[in-house]
């Protein structure tokens, strides 16, 4: 079935409606977004200048922070309706994050860092079981695809920046969450490695049917994506301030 047909039938991967967010203690709102949706399986490139609120929007999409007004839904689930504990579990089941600074546990091996995502999510383990595989086997497959096979046993602290980033990608992808969120994941890589990393992320998302929300300053990467969203245009705070 075509991805477009699938997307038309599925609930959006991300739904933001009449949403407003102000950081505690701040005089003004940081974000005010009337409507923003990412379809199931859609690949969105989010751009915006430094300080425009890209990371803040990702934190809202992850339910790490909650808006003062409006809703943020993931796979049809409004995040604010969940208790803090349920939100943590929902995030572990349905979202994979690749951060600017990777957030790996330095003393754990590359393999254990990848497997952490499954340890915290019975749903990810169940998805793997339904495909006839296990978390260990899938960690091996992703590691080999990401050219990490030789370093799987090594502590994350001993890996190069590029290797750490690929471990972070494998951890986000394992167990097929419906949404991958990536915040400047290629900023530490040279041009060749950027290309390889993006190809891999897009391939794995396509295979898993996962939507991808990818934040970057680097517009040269935008042509890989279904849609480019400019936060300066999406955010009414900026639009009103500039009016
Ligand atoms: N934890 C926080 N507490 C208070 N204000 C914050 C916090 N994090 C971000 N902000 C403020 O929110 C605004 C948006 O920041 P944010 O990090 O979301 O921007 P960004 O677009 O991701 O920037 P960059 O491209 O530089 O990473 C900024 O004015 C910033 O100072």
For the stretch 80-135, pLDDT in tens is 999 999 999 999 999 999 987 678 999 999 999 999 999 989 999 999 999 999 99
243's tokens = 């009016």
**C-beta separation of 48 from 210 below 8 A:** no
State yes or no: pLDDT of 167 exceeds 90.
Answer: yes
Please indicate whether residue 30, judged by its CB atom, sits closer than 6 Å to ligand 1. yes
Q: Which residue has the higher pLDDT, 162 or 240?
A: 162
Domain range list for the chain: 3-242
Q: What is the pLDDT of residues 192-201, one digit of tens each?
A: 778 888 888 9
Query: What is the DSSP secondary structure assignment for residue 53, as one 8-state letter?
Result: S
Confidence of residue 1 (pLDDT cuts 50, 70, 90): very low
Question: Ligand 1 centre and the CA of 28: distance in Å?
Answer: 13
pLDDT category at 25 given cuts 50, 70, 90 is: very high
From the options 3.90.180.10, 3.40.1440.10, 3.60.70.12, 3.40.50.300, give the CATH code of 3-242: 3.40.50.300
The yes/no answer to whether this complex scores an ipTM above 0.90 is: yes
Residue predicted with more confidence, 148 or 103: 148
Identify the pLDDT of residue 73. Answer: 98
pTM of this prediction?
A: 0.90
CA–centroid distance, residue 198 to ligand 1 (Å): 25
- With b for 16 or more beta-carbon neighbours within 10 A and e for fewer, the 131-150 pattern comes to eeeebeebbbebbebbebee
pLDDT for the residue 150: 93
Which one of 29, 55, 188 would you pick to mutate in the ligand 1 pocket, going by the greatest count of ligand atoms within 8 A of its CB?
55
User: Of 49, 94, 96, 207, whose CA–CA distance to 141 is shortest?
Assistant: 207
In this structure, which residue's CA is closest to atom 16 in ligand 1?
53
Mean residue pLDDT across the chain: 90
């Amino acid at each position: 079935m075509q991805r477009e047909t699938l997307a038309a039938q599925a609930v959006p991967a991300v739904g933001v409606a009449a949403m407003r967010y102000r950081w505690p203690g701040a005089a003004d709102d940081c974000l005010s977004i009337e409507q923003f949706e990412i379809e199931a399986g859609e690949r969105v490139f989010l751009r915006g200048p430094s300080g425009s609120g890209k990371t803040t929007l990702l934190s809202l999409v992850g339910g790490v922070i909650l808006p003062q007004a409006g809703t943020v839904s993931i796979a049809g689930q409004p995040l604010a309706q969940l208790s803090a504990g349920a939100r943590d579990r929902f995030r572990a089941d349905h979202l994979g994050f690749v951060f600017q600074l990777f957030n790996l546990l330095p003393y754990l091996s590359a393999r254990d860092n990848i497997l952490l995502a499954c340890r915290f999510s019975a749903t990810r383990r169940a998805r793997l079981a339904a495909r006839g595989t296990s978390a260990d086997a899938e960690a091996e497959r992703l590691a080999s695809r990401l050219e990490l096979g030789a370093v799987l046993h090594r502590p994350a602290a001993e890996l190069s920046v590029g290797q750490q980033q690929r471990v972070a990608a494998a951890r986000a992808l394992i167990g097929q969450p419906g949404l991958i969120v990536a915040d400047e994941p290629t900023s530490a890589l040279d041009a060749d490695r950027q290309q390889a990393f993006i190809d891999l992320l897009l391939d794995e998302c396509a295979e898993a049917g996962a939507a991808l929300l990818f934040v970057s300053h680097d517009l040269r990467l935008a042509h890989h994506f279904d849609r480019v969203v400019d936060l300066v245009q999406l955010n009414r705070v900026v639009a009103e301030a500039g009016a």
